[in-house]
Amino acid sequence: MMQPDWLDLSSYLSNNQVKAFFSYNSFPSRGLEARKNFLNQTGFIRKSLLVPIQVHSKNVILKNEAGKVNGVDGVFTFNPDIVCSIQVADCMPIYFCHQIEKKFGIIHVGWRGLVDGIIFQSNRLLNNNGLNLDDFELIIGPSIQHCCFEVKNDIIQKFDKQFINKIDENRFKVNLQSIAISQLNDLNFNTEKIKVISECTFCNPEKYYSYRRDGKNTGRMIGIIGIQ
């Protein structure tokens, strides 16, 4: 039996109405049609897509209508007919799923969005809509890990020292996943409700695209979450 071209993350969610998936590099990922095809193949028949036009920002939005949204890097919905989507190629896909209700979202978290506060903005969005972050379970999907995320002196000051390992005078490795978890701790989120997929996108060329490994012309993985 052939293996699917995606990772099924749904088993990490206690709300069994909500399903979450992440495509491998074996799945064609170019353009909106690829996302629609991914929806159909993963069982989201007759569902509509919410698509952020990502800009490596801290901007997130709650929207209950399908379509493209410019200038945001995270989308949430309370509409069970909508599937939230993002694309990544090293950045963290972070899935949010309410433990009981049909409320969910997904954010694209690169290092810029992380240090600028996209996790804090996501918490604020939920609070402003009468929800607590602690009502949700989170999944941090496959992304570049500490082993391979290397930066230089020009930006190292943007990261807290506790998440940095020095290689030499001009090169450092940074643990982005630990930064994300630390920020969630600062928001009093129960980190037992976080599942971190520890596969490194850079280290696994047979499974994942990687911008840092392959350059700007590499493909993208698709992350989706919704009600089947």
Q: Is 171 left (phi over 0), alpha (psi -120 to 50) or beta?
A: beta
Query: How high does pLDDT run on average in the chain?
Result: 96
With bands split at pLDDT 50, 70 and 90, how would you rate the model's confidence at 30? confident
Q: What is the pLDDT of residue 36?
A: 94
Read off the pTM: 0.97
- Percentage of the chain beyond pLDDT 90 is 93
The candidate with the shortest Cα–Cα distance to 95, out of 228, 190, 198, 196, is 196
Residue pair 137/184 in contact (Cβ under 8 Å)? The answer is no
What are phi and psi for residue 110, nearest 5 degrees?
-85, 180
Query: Among 22-31, 56-65, 67-76, 115-124, where is mean pLDDT lowest?
Result: 22-31
Q: Which residue has the tokens 């095809």?
A: 37
pLDDT in tens, 120-154: 999 999 999 999 999 999 999 999 999 999 999 99
Structure tokens at 219: 């493909």
With bands split at pLDDT 50, 70 and 90, how would you rate the model's confidence at 114? very high
Q: Is 26 left (phi over 0), alpha (psi -120 to 50) or beta?
A: alpha
Instruction: Taking residues 103-113, report their average pLDDT.
Output: 98
Query: Among 28-37, 111-120, 161-170, where is mean pLDDT lowest?
Result: 28-37
Which residues are within 8 A (CB) of 133 and not within 5 positions of it... i.e. 6 or more apart? 122, 123, 126, 127, 184, 187, 188, 189
Residue pair 24/208 in contact (Cβ under 8 Å)? The answer is yes
CA angle 151, 153, 156 (to 5 degrees): 65
Distance CA 74, CA 106 (A): 6
- Percentage of the chain beyond pLDDT 70 is 99
> In this model, does residue 2 exceed pLDDT 80?
no
Distance CA 201, CA 94 (A): 15
* Dihedral angle over CA of 107, 110, 114, 116, nearest 10: -100
With bands split at pLDDT 50, 70 and 90, how would you rate the model's confidence at 155? very high
pLDDT in tens, 170-216: 999 999 999 999 999 999 999 999 999 999 999 999 999 999 999 98
With bands split at pLDDT 50, 70 and 90, how would you rate the model's confidence at 1? low
Q: What is the pLDDT of residue 87?
A: 97
